[in-house]
Amino acid sequence: MAKNILLVHCSPRMGGNSSRLADEFERGATEAGNTVTRISVGNARIGGCKACEYCFKHEGECCQKDDMQELYPLLHQADVIVYATPMYYYNFPAQMRAFQDRMFCGIAKPFGISQTALLLCFEDKDATTCEPALASFDVAANYCKQEVLGKVIVNNVYEKGAIEGNPGLEEAYELGKSIS
Ligand SMILES: Cc1cc2nc3c(=O)[nH]c(=O)nc-3n(C[C@H](O)[C@H](O)[C@H](O)COP(=O)(O)O)c2cc1C
């Protein structure tokens, strides 16, 4: 059955390497008949969770009236969430982490997201340097009861455009195409 996929691009650099991974994933997932809603949090105004638990007393509503408010309805519509992101400081960018922390109100009003995937790019020639980030992704998915559909990992790309010709683009397309 076709899925509602929320594709979350997490880099502030538009048209960069993770954006290209998102393009190819979106192309495959759309061809497979899914509905893909692409959002960009890299330049959004999203504060960190304040741990105030306002959401617990207000049916999942967050007290912070920032760009996240437009994204909550999309989170509630999604079956699958896919992150396209660079690695920053051996982890995920602060923009992505703020977005994820603000999903805390999903405890009060649960999202129906049951699957996830990761498209990750970074500069290091040593591909193993992303392992701590991957482990973090996996334990968080497990906590959220989200099946991990796949991960596309592209290292040794720094400059915008460096990813062109990389097999990771095809892998992102195939991952999108495999979702149905
Ligand atoms: C603030 C910042 C931190 C970064 N930290 C790392 C890092 O820890 N390891 C790494 O391999 N690359 C790191 N990079 C490089 C990016 O991951 C790399 O350029 C990536 O391809 C950028 O993706 P984008 O074009 O989608 O923005 C960093 C880049 C920036 C701007």
Pocket flag, ligand 1, residue 101 (CB < 6 Å): no
Residues 89-136 have pLDDT tens digits of 999 999 999 999 999 999 999 999 999 999 999 999 999 999 999 999
Mean pLDDT calculated for residue range 74-101: 98
**CB-ligand 1 contact for 17 (6 Å cutoff):** yes
Grade residue 1 by pLDDT with cuts at 50, 70 and 90: confident
- Name the residue among 143, 131, 165, 144 with its Cα closest to residue 80: 144
- Region of residue 53 (phi > 0: left; psi between -120 and 50: alpha; otherwise: beta): left
Determine the pLDDT at residue 117. Answer: 99
Range list of β-strands (E), the chain: 4-9, 35-40, 80-86, 115-121, 147-154
**Percentage of residues in the chain with pLDDT exceeding 70?**
100
Provide the pLDDT for residue 99: 98
Taking residues 139-163, what's their average pLDDT? 98
Tens of pLDDT, residues 34-59: 999 999 999 999 999 999 999 999 99
What is the reported pLDDT for 128? 98
| pLDDT for position 61 | 98
Helix 167-177 and helix 17-31: axis angle, to 10°? Answer: 30
* pLDDT, average across residues 74-81: 98
Output the residue whose Cα is nearest ligand 1's atom 17.
122
Indicate which atom in ligand 1 lies nearest the CA of residue 84: 26
| Closest ligand 1 atom to Cα of 18 | 26
Instruction: Note the pLDDT of residue 30.
Output: 98
The CA-atom distances, in angstroms, between 58 and each of 75, 102, 155 are 18, 15, 43
Superfamily of domain 4-177: Flavodoxin domain (3.40.50.360)
- The ligand 1 atom nearest the CA atom of 85: 26
Each domain of the chain, given as residue ranges in start order, spans 4-177
- What residues form DSSP beta bridges with 9? 40, 84
